[in-house]
Structure 1
Amino acid sequence: MTRVAIYARYSSDQQQEASIEDQFRLCKERAEAEGWEIAGQYKDHATSGASMLRHGIQRLIEDALAGKFEIVVAEALDRLSRDQADIASFYKRMRFADVQIITLSEGDISDLHIGLKGTMNALFLKDLADKTRRGLRGRVEAGKSGGGNSYGYDVVRKVASDGTPQRGERTINDTEANIVRRIFSEYAAGRSPRAIAKDLNAEKIAGPSGSRGNKGWGPSTIHGNRQRGTGILNNELYIGRLVWNRLRYIKDPETGKRVSRLNPEKDWIIQDAPALRIIDDDLWQAVKARQDSQKADWNTSGFWDRKRPRYLFSGLMSCGVCGGGIVNLNGVRVGCANARNKGTCDNRRTMRRDLLEATIFDALAHHLMEPELFALFCEEYTRHMNKLRIEATSQLAGYQAELSKVTRNTDRLIDAITDGVPASQVKERMLNLERRKAELQRLIDETEEPPALLHPNMAEHYRKEVDRLHDALADEDHRHEAVAIIRDLVDKIVLHPQPEGSKTTMAIDLHGDLAGILSLAAETKKPPRKGGDFRESTKLVAGAGFEPATFRL
C-alpha cells in the first residue's frame, strides 16, 4: 500500500486552530478514496509560508529523505511554501527522495506548477504586504498606532457598531509613564543608563518585555539607537509625535530571519498625537543635549579601529549561569555583563583576560583537531560528502539526459518540416521545446560542483596554521587579519563559575566553529574566509548534524 504524509499549516494567530484539522480531514478523505496508507501527519501553527524555518516542514523533509513515505499530500501548494526559492528547493528534495507531491487544489505537482504557482504565491505575498502597509499608513495618518506598543501605554480594544475591531488606539499607562519620566530625569541629571537599569532591576520593576529575571532592564533598553529611534530615550511618542516607517524589514536569504534597515527620512510618516505626550519639551531637549555631548566623532582618528572587536574574543563569550554576555570589566579582567550591569545574575566570578586568551589559544592549537577525533570525523565527513556528490551528480545527469532528449525531439521536428510537414502544425511544440531547452541549460549551468573531500593531512596543516597565526598577532601589519581568522575558529566560549578554592575562578567550555576550522585546515595559499566556496560546503555538513568538538578547559 502506498504510504503518504499529510502536511497542514495556517499562517497567523488571527486564524483558527481548526484550520489545521480541516486540512487534515480533507487530505485524509483523499487518501482513503485512493486507498493510501497515512504514514504521518505534519503541521505548523501560526507560521508564515514565507520561510522554511518551520518545525513541521523540516521534520517532513527529514522523514522523506529517510524513505518513510512515497507521497506528500497538502490542501494547496501555498500550504507548503509561498516563497519561490523555497518551494523550488522543496520540490527538488522531494524529487530526489522519489516522493510525489499532490495537492487537493492543483493535483499532481510538476515543474510547471512550481514555476507558475511559485510566482503567483510570491506575488500574493508582495500584494499582501503592500495592502497591509497601505492600511497601516492610513491608520497612522489618522493619529493611531501602526502596530505594536511602547512602554508607557496600554492598548485600547474597541469594537465598532458593525462588530469589527477598531485597532490602533492607545492610552497612557500612568504607572509606566512615571517610570519613563524617572528615566528621562535621571539621565538628564547625569546618571548612566547602566546605573538606571540596575536600580530598576533591584526594585523589581518589570521592563518593557514584561519579565523581570535576566530579561529585565538593560542599558541598551534605555539608550537604544538614536538614529533608528529605538530605546526609551529616543521614543518620540513620549513627546506626542508618532513616527512610522522609520525602518523596513527584509528576510535574510541565508537564515530566513527578518533584519531591519533604516529608511530615508523623506519616507517617514510623522503625525502629532498630543494626547499621548508623557515628557515635556524641556526635559526632552535636556536629554538630547546630553546625548549630543556624548556622541562619538566619526572623523576622529582611530574611530573605525575602535569599531573592530577590542580584544581577541570580544562578543564570543557567554555566561554559563544566565546565558548573558561575558564582557571586559576593565583592562585586565572579564566577567558576566548581567551581574555587573543589571544585577540579575549571581555569577560574580571574574577571570584574567590574558589567561583566558592563552588557554583558548592552546586549545585551538592542540585540542580541536586531535588526530583520533579528526580521523573519525574524516570518515563521517567523507560518507556525507559522497552522499551529496551522488545527489548532485544524479540531478545533473537527469538534466543532461532530458536536454539530450529535448534536442533530439527538436531535430526530429526540423526534419519533419524539411520533409514537408507544415510549420504551423509544429510551431507550438517547437516553441515549448526551445523554452524547455533554455531552462535545462540554465539549470545545468547553475548546478554546483560537488564539494571537495578532506585530505588526511589536514589536522597537521591546521596546527601549523594556528601557530603561524599566533606569531602574526605580534605583527601590527597583519594583526587585524590574524584576529579575524582566529575568531572564525570559535563558535562560542561559555564560562562557568568554579567553587571557592579551585585552581581557576571559571571553567571554560570552548565550542569550535566547524566551517572555520575546516577552512583553515584546507591546505591553500590563503585560508578561505567566510563566504568562500569551501566554507559554504562545510555549512552543509554542520546542518546535517555534524558538530565540532567541545572542550572543558
Structure 2
Amino acid sequence: MPEEMWLQREAPSLRIIDPDLAVLVDARREEWRSRITASRAVGRAPEKAHGKYLLSGGMLVCPTCGGHFEAFKSPWNTGVYVCATRRRKPGVCSNTLALPIAGTDDAVLDIVEGEVLGTRFIEELLGLVDRGEADDSARLMAERNRLRTEVERLVGSIAAGVPGDTVAPAIREREREIARLDVQLRAPRPMQPDIDKLRAALSLRAKQWRADLRAEPKVARLLLWRLVEPIVLFEPRPDWVKWEAPTKPGLLEGLVPIHQVASPTGFEPVFRP
C-alpha cells in the first residue's frame, strides 16, 4: 500500500516511556552534547566541562578566542569567571576580563526570569505552535456526495437507453475519486491545540522554572541550557561587557509540537566586572 494511504493514530496507552521522562532525558542528553562541543573547542576532556557553577561548562563564550569561561577562585578574589584558554594556555588568549561569579549569575538569572520566562515571551512562543490544518471533513464529504449523485445519474442513464460502454468510463472515474476521498475521510482528523490551556500550562511551568533557577546550581544550569544558547560576550571594556543569548523554545518541550522554531528574540544586556 502506498505510504500516502497509511493511517496513523495516536495511541498513548502503547507508549513505553512516559512523555515527561522522555523530555528530561532529552534535555540531559542535549546538555551533555553542548558540554562536549564547548570543551572540544578548547581542547578539554568533555567530562571536565561539568562545573558546579551556573555559567561553567561552556555557557559563557570568550569574545577574544572563542573558548569558554570557567569559574576561578583564589585568595585574592571571592570567585570570578575567566577565560579558560588564557588561564590554562598562557599566550594563546589576551582576554583579561574577570566577571564576579555571584553578580554575573544574578544578572543572567534576572534577565532570563524577566525575558525568557515572562508573559511577552510566552505569547511569542504561542505564535510558534503548530495550529494544525483546518478540518476539511465537511468539504470532502460534500464532494463525495456530489460524485455519488453523479454516479447514480449515470447509472440511471443506462436504464434510460444510453449505451453502457459510453457511460462506463465516466462511472469508473468517479468511483476512483470516491475511493480517494474515502481514504482521506478515514485519516485521523487534526487536533487543534487549546491555546488558552496551553498558555496556562506555560505560565505554570514558567513559575516553577523561575523557582528552580534559584535552587541548586546544577538544576539551574540544566534549565538554562534548555532556555538559551551559550552566552556570547562582545565589546569588552574595562568596566563593562555586552552579552547576548539567543533563546530557545524550551518551555514548549513535551507540551505541543512546534511548527517552526525561528529563534525567538534574544537579548543584549551588560555585565559590569
Q: Normalised by the size of structure 2, how large is the TM-score?
A: 0.54
Question: Do the aligned partners of residues 552 and 329 (structure 1) sit closer, same or farther apart at CA in structure 2, a change above 3 Å counting?
Answer: closer
- Name the CA distance, whole Å, in 2 between partners of 1:548 and 1:451: 27
CA positional deviation for 1:513: 2.0
Alignment of 1:264-283 (within 5 A): none
- Name the CA distance, whole Å, in 2 between partners of 1:414 and 1:344: 84
Q: Is the 8 A contact 2:116 2:247 kept in 1?
A: no
SS at 1:449 equivalent: coil
Alignment RMSD (CA, Å): 4.8
Task: Give deviations 1:76-125, integer Å, cap 9, x for gaps.
Answer: xxxxxxxxxxxxxxxxxxxxxxxxxxxxxxxxxxxxxxx9xxxxxxxxxx
Question: Do the aligned partners of residues 428 and 309 (structure 1) sit closer, same or farther apart at CA in structure 2, a change above 3 Å counting?
Answer: farther
Of 241, 245, 248, 1:511 maps to 245
SS at 1:325 equivalent: coil
State yes or no: 1:551 paired with 2:269: yes
Task: Give deviations 1:389-415, integer Å, cap 9, x for gaps.
Answer: 6x943xx44x64144303431354257
- Name the CA distance, whole Å, in 2 between partners of 1:336 and 1:424: 81
Give the equivalent residue in structure 2 for 1:327.
Answer: 69
Question: Do the aligned partners of residues 315 and 433 (structure 1) sit closer, same or farther apart at CA in structure 2, a change above 3 Å counting?
Answer: farther
Alignment of 1:491-502 (within 5 A): 491-496=229-234, 498-500=236-238, 502=239
CA positional deviation for 1:433: 2.9
SS at 1:362 equivalent: helix
The amino acid of 2:265's aligned partner reads E
SS at 1:509 equivalent: strand
Task: Give deviations 1:129-172, integer Å, cap 9, x for gaps.
Answer: xxxxxxxxxxxxxxxxxxxxxxxxxxxxxxxxxxxxxxxxxxxx
Alignment of 1:456-495 (within 5 A): 464-470=207-213, 472-473=215-216, 480=219, 483-495=221-233
Give the equivalent residue in structure 2 for 1:173.
Answer: none
Percent identity between the aligned chains?
A: 16
Question: Do the aligned partners of residues 342 and 437 (structure 1) sit closer, same or farther apart at CA in structure 2, a change above 3 Å counting?
Answer: farther
- Name the CA distance, whole Å, in 1 between partners of 2:228 and 2:51: 16
- Name the CA distance, whole Å, in 1 between partners of 2:62 and 2:151: 71
Relative contact order higher in (CA < 8 Å, ≥ 6 apart): 2
- Name the CA distance, whole Å, in 1 between partners of 2:125 and 2:113: 21
CA positional deviation for 1:488: 1.5
Question: Do the aligned partners of residues 508 and 456 (structure 1) sit closer, same or farther apart at CA in structure 2, a change above 3 Å counting?
Answer: farther
Give the equivalent residue in structure 2 for 1:85.
Answer: none
CA positional deviation for 1:489: 2.0
Give the equivalent residue in structure 2 for 1:409.
Answer: 147
- Name the CA distance, whole Å, in 1 between partners of 2:70 and 2:155: 79
Give the equivalent residue in structure 2 for 1:533.
Answer: 256
Give the equivalent residue in structure 1 for 2:107.
Answer: 359
CA positional deviation for 1:469: 0.5
The amino acid of 1:320's aligned partner reads P
Q: Is the 8 A contact 1:218 1:342 kept in 2?
A: no
SS at 2:224 equivalent: helix
Task: Give deviations 1:501-535, integer Å, cap 9, x for gaps.
Answer: x3xxx63525262523xx2xxxxxxxx53x5416x
Alignment of 1:165-176 (within 5 A): none
Stretches of structure 2 lacking an aligned partner (at least 5 in a row): 5-40, 74-78
Give the equivalent residue in structure 1 for 2:60.
Answer: 317
The amino acid of 1:469's aligned partner reads D
Task: Give deviations 1:308-348, integer Å, cap 9, x for gaps.
Answer: 944434233212344x1313265754333554559554323
The amino acid of 1:326's aligned partner reads H
- Name the CA distance, whole Å, in 1 between partners of 2:235 and 2:155: 83
Give the equivalent residue in structure 2 for 1:127.
Answer: none
- Name the CA distance, whole Å, in 2 between partners of 1:369 and 1:472: 16
State yes or no: 1:349 paired with 2:97: yes
Give the equivalent residue in structure 2 for 1:449.
Answer: 192
Question: Do the aligned partners of residues 427 and 366 (structure 1) sit closer, same or farther apart at CA in structure 2, a change above 3 Å counting?
Answer: closer
The amino acid of 2:106's aligned partner reads A
Question: Do the aligned partners of residues 358 and 381 (structure 1) sit closer, same or farther apart at CA in structure 2, a change above 3 Å counting?
Answer: closer
Question: Do the aligned partners of residues 403 and 344 (structure 1) sit closer, same or farther apart at CA in structure 2, a change above 3 Å counting?
Answer: farther
The amino acid of 2:245's aligned partner reads H
Q: Is the 8 A contact 2:244 2:266 kept in 1?
A: no
- Name the CA distance, whole Å, in 1 between partners of 2:255 and 2:202: 18
How many residues are paired up? 216
The amino acid of 1:552's aligned partner reads V
Question: Do the aligned partners of residues 335 and 462 (structure 1) sit closer, same or farther apart at CA in structure 2, a change above 3 Å counting?
Answer: same
Alignment of 1:101-500 (within 5 A): 219=43, 306=47, 309-311=50-52, 312-313=54-55, 314-322=57-65, 324-328=66-70, 330=72, 333-337=80-84, 339=86, 340-341=88-89, 343-366=91-114, 368=116, 374=120, 378=123, 392-393=133-134, 396-397=135-136, 400-410=138-148, 412-413=150-151, 416-417=154-155, 425=169, 426-439=171-184, 441-442=186-187, 445=189, 447=190, 449=192, 452=195, 455=199, 464-470=207-213, 472-473=215-216, 480=219, 483-496=221-234, 498-500=236-238
Q: Is the 8 A contact 1:333 1:350 kept in 2?
A: yes
